[in-house]
Amino acid sequence: MDRQWSADEVGRAKLSNDPRVIDASRYATEYGVAEYLAAGPQLYLEWQNAWSPGLHPRGAALVSAAVDLHRAGIQEPVSRQLLERLHSVYLEARGGVRLRPESILDAFHWALEPLHATSSLLVPVRDDMYRAFEYLAGALARGRKNRDLPDEVWTAAIDDFALEVVHSVGHRAEKARKYEFATRAYERLAAAGISDGSFHLGYIAAKQNKLEDAEFWYLRAIEQGSNVARNNLGLVLARNGREDEAATWFREAAQEGDAHAMRNLGHYLLDREEWDEARELFVSFMSKTPSVAKMLMGQLCIKQSEYQKAEEWLQDALGDGNNDAWFYLGVAQEKQDALDSASASYRRALEAGNEQSANNLAGILEKLGQLEEAESLYRSRLEKADDGHVVFNLAGLLARTGRHEEAETFYRRSIAAGSEYAKNNLALMLSDQGRKEEAEKLLREAASEGDTRAMANLAAICRRKGAPREALTWINRALALSKREYYVEMGMVQEALGEPNKAMLWYRRAMDDGNYRGAVSLGFLYERQGKSKAARKLYVEAAENGESHALFHLGQLYLYRRDYCVARKYLTKAEEAGEDVYHMLAFLALRDGDLVRARALLDKAQEKDSPQVLMIREMLTSAEEHAGAT
């Protein structure tokens, strides 16, 4: 086989499925593909075997120094003097004089000898300048023998080479999580006025949550001419709670055409519901980065509940090649209950690298009843989840499927990861298990930390315990944070305080806000006041707007009125919606003389010790005894 291949042959080699052939094709001009593939493994074995005492351990150490400098990011030839200086580190680590090392001249002679064709372990480039045969570093990686580089190698790579080389060394050290050496490399660049050095120092500081240091270095990078540092500075400021300052930097970077800054500025405006400014800004982005602008317009339409328009914008963004739009297309479809379409979009987003879509896809799978796949998806992302969301959602699925012990483990792991609602949800699960004191303690912790859900749930606990004044304190705190969904709980607290008229106002406010739980609560208040006609009207309105508990109350209302046919209709619908109406349906079955069905329904009742359930059970037992005696 010819040593040098044709351009077509090398081109085909680059398209190979074998990574060794692809690697060899990179050196087709210098060595030839066949020679590289044949000589490489042999030279690697020569190097590894040379460490034996009395063979060529000093030569092996010289090669190790050259290989590790290459691994540290040095692509340039290295001097004989540097190899001599560094090789002793490897020699001593392997046993030093006990290896009976050869002389330095013999070591170089062996390492430079063409053992196979024209290839040698050290390749001479010019007078006293060498580099390691390229195959060797790749073989270490493929053999999973990528040991840590000695500190002396990192230090030499940073201090002994030109600035343009040091940038690559910083990247390699950063990738290897040797942040001390990455920092030293980037500091050398920054001191020379090179913005990339300052930028990466900011990036490392931000990664280590040293936000003040990150801010300092990003500002330095901007002074040195970096455009991308503006966006990163904005991210650091936002993490530090300085969102308005962050938006200023996002805006500057966006005007320079930074697509990431456009997204971040867009999210800032959308989170603050500044619709007009957002729309104007997104239109202005059309001339700079249309695919990003269209995606942002889609997000704006989702925020404004214009889901069809959102789909149009997002489809356009996808047509422009913006794969990030798959995620938001899934959101728009999910909002319209197009679960199969949303599932497909989230899958495409996940394939495109959007990890956030895993949570949404698993949530869709839960809604579709595909619990095993949903759980598998959550578990596959556990190691990739650094924000607690995957752990939190898995805990919720486990809790809903009755695996409370494992759910508690994941909720506590989610709490440790800083998840906002994990304490509240764990508390609710523990409360259902009868662990009331633990639950209340968790709710108090979460409420004190600012969790509005925990505040509302704690208010409900205090109200039921007969402490309406404390309940009022907690529900006021929740409402002060503009959480309008807690209007109904405020109404209940007002009832507990003996203020039915105030309670009515809060229930009405909930209804005006589109929350028909308020209609159910107001209807129940009217019912207790003897205003059954007004109560029935409110229940019907709530049921028509999707409130299943209104069906419970309608069934109960008609049951009290002995209109059993209408009662059965509403109670059957309530059961289908998941309401606990089994004791009332058991009563109707008992009336019909179907004692077997009555017993089966009564056994399903969740509040088995409630007065109504106990009364119906007593009636049923009496009927069964009578039937048996007959």
Q: Please, which pLDDT band fits residue 27 given cuts at 50, 70 and 90?
A: very low
Give me the pLDDT at residue 219, please. Answer: 96
Shortest CA distance to 267 belongs to which of 238, 310, 241? 238
pLDDT tens digits, 265-295: 999 999 999 999 999 989 988 988 999 999 9
pLDDT in tens, 41-96: 788 888 888 888 888 999 999 999 999 999 999 999 999 999 999 999 999 998 88
In terms of C-beta distances under 8 Å and separation of at least 24 residues, what long-range contacts does 261-268 make, across chains too? 261/230, 261/231, 261/234, 262/288, 262/289, 262/292, 262/293, 262/296, 263/292, 263/295, 263/296, 264/231, 264/234, 264/235, 264/238, 266/296, 266/299, 266/300, 267/299, 268/238, 268/243
Show the tokens assigned to 283.
């239109």
| Pairs from 25-33 (Cβ < 8 Å, separation ≥ 24) | 26/134, 27/134, 28/4, 29/4, 31/118, 31/119, 32/2, 32/3, 32/4, 32/5, 33/5, 33/9
Q: What is the pLDDT of residues 457-516, one digit of tens each?
A: 999 999 999 999 999 999 999 999 877 789 999 999 999 999 999 999 999 999 999 999
| 118-129 pLDDT tens trace | 688 999 988 899
Q: Which residue has the higher pLDDT, 252 or 26?
A: 252
**What pLDDT, on the 0 to 100 scale, is given for residue 116?**
59
**In angstroms, how far is CA 563 from the centroid of its own chain?**
53
Beta carbons of 591 and 564 less than 8 angstroms apart: yes
pTM score of the predicted model: 0.65
Mean pLDDT of 525-536: 94
- Helices 57-71 and 33-49 pack at an angle, to 10 degrees, of 130
pLDDT at position 187 over 60? yes
